[in-house]
């Protein structure tokens, strides 16, 4: 089976879990319990991983044409299929709890996938192909026909019920295959409900009114959020995607909805991104704040401080599970071939064990951003968090680490890590009046200044005349673009200007895409948006706007961005939808709106 391009997939969310549905009408990814739980459909990663296709028989033929869009300000997807026999619309959604609105979505998600088929013209032959494979394809469930015409799929820890009020469904071995016709004006609703095998039974919802209720719930989010900057439609779409990547029960934002989609087809840099990184924390808070989502910002902040807990002698964890779990140890799924044969498929992420010295700076920076919201006097827990993180930076900033790109080789003295150590000390000094007796602003300021002088001396490569990725290395790294973004150096500083120019020249391809390092196979979208911000800060606002529009043009037809873009073909690569890409878009749009803000 030739797998669809990553950009072919639309994203569904109930703020508990995520599903991916292709242009061909096949749901190829769904982890119904929560974003980082086991899948019941994983054809995204293997032809035998399970799927649920609902589409015209003519899909893929010369006479078949697809138009699709989200219902405005929602993650409810409407796909219109035009065939020689007529036209039909399929509306897909992950159901919200009945009556939920805005920030209530996902708190008590029923874990039901809804699909509504509507005949628009003619009589269109349709096919339903339902082949669940729980536990990432390890389990082939028993399928049983129920007296009410539904099908029950059960095995191991999973129970699924597939229903359609207008059709009696029949099993065919390990799948349900059913053909039917949909006529103009006819509507059929399907619902697939998940439940744990030994818990409450799967929910039963009426698909048509529940889809309408889900649309209203999503639209209530955007009605309560007002963004008044440039590129409002792009920002609203990205804000909706970020909301969809939020695990509502805790407020954590998952880095992406998928695992193991490759950075390079046939490569092995395939990682599980269904967790929440503290590195993303400050950037995410900034994006949510810009997009006028203060409730989400405060919930994410509360999740982060709770997950960090009391600061000890060891490094602050890099990432957490969505409810604050620390141990997300990695294992491989050798039974899955990987997307387009790009193995291995990984579950869990071993980066949780790494030392990454930038993490405290991201957290303290986020606290500084929310300082007015948090009050003139911090509570004991918040004071202990800031002081603990600051003291950890004071004790460890001279150590090597793995850097923000999380390589799995040896540690180095990465420039971006040192700069974020400076950020931590700088913001802690400014926050000192709110931190009580343990604040040691004078000593912190001295360490801050020492870090700065070290970075300026050791991070600049005299032979190349630019700031490079690690002390003593001639290798360029797009992470140097972060220096002006966090306020370490002005973008128009001559050395910084030379660095920005080198990144454009050596890591760019003239298409707006910036690779992270020489040899990186594809453009990393966050780096492209950092370049937009740098150009604004350097006074090149018009060129920055052109670059922004060029980069955002790489989104798929639904406005979704993956992690990377192949500079030759324009194909999406890496996990999708990628939170950092949408965060970068929002922050760059705001920088273009208020170039002197922050």
What is the per-residue pLDDT across 94-114, written as a single tens digit (0 to 9) for each? 999 988 887 788 889 999 999
Specify the 3-state DSSP secondary structure of 2. Answer: coil
pLDDT mean over 59-66: 88
Pairs from 450-456 (Cβ < 8 Å, separation ≥ 24): 451/397, 451/418, 451/421, 451/422, 451/425, 452/422, 452/488, 454/418, 455/415, 455/418, 455/419, 455/422, 455/488
Which pLDDT tens digit goes with each residue over 558-571?
999 999 999 999 99
What residues have CB less than 8 Å from 372, skipping those under 6 apart? none
Which pLDDT tens digit goes with each residue over 459-478?
999 999 999 999 999 999 99
User: Are 149 and 164 spatial neighbours (Cβ–Cβ below 8 Å)?
Assistant: yes
Confidence of residue 594 (pLDDT cuts 50, 70, 90): confident
DSSP code for 579: H
Distance CA 172, CA 192 (A): 18
Higher per-residue confidence, 124 vs 379: 124
292, pLDDT greater than 80:
no
Confidence of residue 598 (pLDDT cuts 50, 70, 90): very low
Confidence of residue 313 (pLDDT cuts 50, 70, 90): confident
Q: Which helix (H) or strand (E) holds 127?
A: strand 112-131
Nearest to 405 by CA among 478, 496, 487: 478
User: Are 95 and 114 spatial neighbours (Cβ–Cβ below 8 Å)?
Assistant: yes
Return the residue matching tokens 């990144």: 503
User: Are 26 and 316 spatial neighbours (Cβ–Cβ below 8 Å)?
Assistant: no
Total residues belonging to the chain? 598
287, pLDDT greater than 50:
yes
Buried b / exposed e along 42-58 (16+ C-beta atoms within 10 A): bbbbbebbbbbbbbbeb
pLDDT mean over 561-583: 96
Q: What is the pLDDT of residue 58?
A: 83
What residues have CB less than 8 Å from 380, skipping those under 6 apart? none
Q: Is 555 exposed, middle or buried (0-12, 13-18, 19+ CB in 10 A)?
A: buried
Report the alpha-carbon angle 246-247-253, nearest 5: 45
The predicted model scores a pTM of 0.96
Q: What is the pLDDT of residue 166?
A: 86
Q: How far is CA 127 from the centre of its chain?
A: 32
Which pLDDT tens digit goes with each residue over 128-184?
999 999 999 999 999 999 999 999 999 999 999 999 988 999 999 999 999 999 999
Q: Where are the domains of the chain?
A: 6-222
DSSP code for 506: I
Which pLDDT tens digit goes with each residue over 481-525?
999 999 999 999 999 999 999 999 999 987 889 999 999 999 999
Is the link from the previous residue into 577 a cis peptide, with omega within 30 of 0? yes
Which pLDDT tens digit goes with each residue over 175-219?
999 999 999 999 999 999 999 999 888 999 999 999 999 999 999
pLDDT mean over 281-302: 77
270, pLDDT greater than 50:
yes
**Which pair of structure tokens corresponds to residue 52?**
């649920």
Is the link from the previous residue into 344 a cis peptide, with omega within 30 of 0? yes
User: Are 276 and 254 spatial neighbours (Cβ–Cβ below 8 Å)?
Assistant: yes
List, as one string, the DSSP characters of 191-231.
EEEEEETTSSPPP---HHHHHHHHHHHHHHHHHT----SSS
Q: What is the pLDDT of residue 536?
A: 97
289, pLDDT greater than 80:
no
Q: How many C-beta atoms surround the C-beta of residue 186 within 10 A? A: 16
545, pLDDT greater than 60:
yes
328, pLDDT greater than 70:
yes
314, pLDDT greater than 90:
no
User: Are 496 and 504 spatial neighbours (Cβ–Cβ below 8 Å)?
Assistant: no
Confidence of residue 297 (pLDDT cuts 50, 70, 90): confident
Torsion of CA 135, 140, 141, 145, to 10 degrees: 140
**Which pair of structure tokens corresponds to residue 397?**
């900033």
596, pLDDT greater than 60:
no
Confidence of residue 227 (pLDDT cuts 50, 70, 90): confident
Q: Name the CATH architecture for the domain at 6-222.
A: Distorted Sandwich (2.70)
Strand partners, 321: none
**Cα separation values, 40 from 25, 140, 159, 202, 382, Å:** 17, 10, 10, 14, 40
Return the residue matching tokens 């740098």: 534
Range from 374-388, 533-547, 575-589 carrying the lowest mean pLDDT: 374-388
Nearest to 217 by CA among 357, 59, 101: 101
Q: What is the pLDDT of residue 597?
A: 45
Return the residue matching tokens 């039909």: 88
Distance CA 354, CA 27 (A): 35
What residues have CB less than 8 Å from 257, skipping those under 6 apart? 11, 13, 18, 20, 29, 35, 245, 274, 575, 576, 577
Distance CA 403, CA 521 (A): 19
């Amino acid at each position: 089976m030739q797998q669809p391009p990553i950009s072919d997939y639309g994203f569904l969310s109930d703020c508990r879990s995520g599903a991916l549905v292709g242009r061909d009408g096949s749901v190829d990814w769904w982890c119904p319990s929560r974003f980082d739980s086991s899948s019941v459909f994983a054809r995204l990663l293997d032809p035998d991983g399970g799927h649920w296709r609902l589409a015209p028989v003519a899909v893929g033929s010369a006479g078949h044409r697809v138009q699709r869009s989200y219902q405005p300000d929602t993650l409810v997807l409407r796909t219109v299929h035009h065939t020689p026999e007529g036209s039909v619309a399929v509306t897909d959604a992950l159901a919200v709890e009945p009556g939920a609105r805005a920030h209530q979505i996902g708190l008590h998600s029923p874990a039901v996938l809804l699909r509504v088929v509507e005949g628009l013209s003619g009589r269109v032959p349709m096919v339903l192909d339902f082949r669940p494979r729980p536990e990432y394809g390890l389990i082939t469930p028993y399928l049983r026909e129920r007296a009410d015409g539904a099908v029950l799929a059960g095995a191991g820890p999973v129970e699924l019920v597939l229903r359609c009020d207008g059709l009696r469904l029949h099993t065919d071995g390990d799948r349900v295959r059913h053909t039917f016709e949909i006529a103009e004006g006819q509507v059929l609703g399907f619902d697939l409900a998940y439940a744990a095998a030994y818990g409450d039974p799967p929910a039963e919802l009426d698909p048509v009114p529940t889809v309408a209720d889900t649309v209203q719930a999503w639209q209530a989010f955007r009605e309560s959020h007002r963004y008044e900057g440039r590129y409002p439609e792009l920002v609203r779409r990205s804000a909706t995607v970020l909301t969809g990547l939020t695990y509502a029960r805790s407020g954590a934002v998952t880095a992406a909805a998928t695992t193991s989609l490759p950075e390079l087809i046939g490569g092995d840099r395939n990682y599980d991104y269904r967790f929440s990184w503290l590195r993303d924390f400050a950037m995410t808070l900034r994006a949510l704040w810009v997009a006028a989502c203060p409730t989400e910002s405060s919930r994410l902040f509360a999740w982060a401080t709770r997950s960090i807990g009391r600061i000890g002698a060891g490094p602050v964890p890099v990432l957490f599970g969505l409810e604050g779990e620390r141990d997300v140890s990695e294992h491989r799924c050798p039974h899955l071939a990987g997307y387009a044969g790009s193995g291995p498929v990984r579950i869990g992420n071993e980066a949780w064990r790494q030392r990454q010295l930038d993490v405290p700076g991201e957290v303290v920076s986020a606290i500084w951003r929310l300082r007015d919201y948090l009050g003139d006097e911090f509570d004991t827990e918040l004071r202990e968090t800031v002081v603990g993180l600051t003291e950890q930076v004071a004790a460890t900033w001279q150590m090597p680490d793995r850097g923000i790109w999380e390589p799995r080789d040896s540690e180095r003295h990465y420039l971006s890590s040192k700069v974020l150590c400076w950020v931590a000390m700088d913001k802690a000094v400014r926050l000192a009046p709110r931190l009580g007796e343990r604040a040691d602003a004078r000593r912190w300021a001295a360490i801050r200044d020492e870090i700065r002088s070290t970075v300026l001396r050791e991070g600049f490569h005299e032979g190349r005349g630019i700031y490079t990725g690690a002390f003593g290395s001639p290798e360029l790294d797009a992470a140097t673009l972060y220096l002006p973004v966090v306020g370490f150096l002005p973008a128009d500083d001559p050395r910084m200007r030379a660095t920005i120019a080198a990144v454009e020249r050596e890591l760019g391809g003239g298409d707006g895409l910036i690779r992270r390092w020489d040899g990186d196979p594809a453009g990393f979208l966050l780096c492209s948006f950092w370049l937009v911000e740098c150009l604004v800060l350097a006074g090149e606002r018009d060129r920055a706007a052109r670059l922004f529009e060029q980069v955002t043009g790489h989104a798929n037809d639904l406005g979704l961005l993956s992690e990377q873009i192949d500079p030759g073909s324009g194909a999406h690569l890496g996990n999708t939808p990628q939170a950092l890409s949408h965060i970068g878009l929002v922050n760059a749009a705001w920088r273009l709106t208020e170039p002197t803000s922050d």
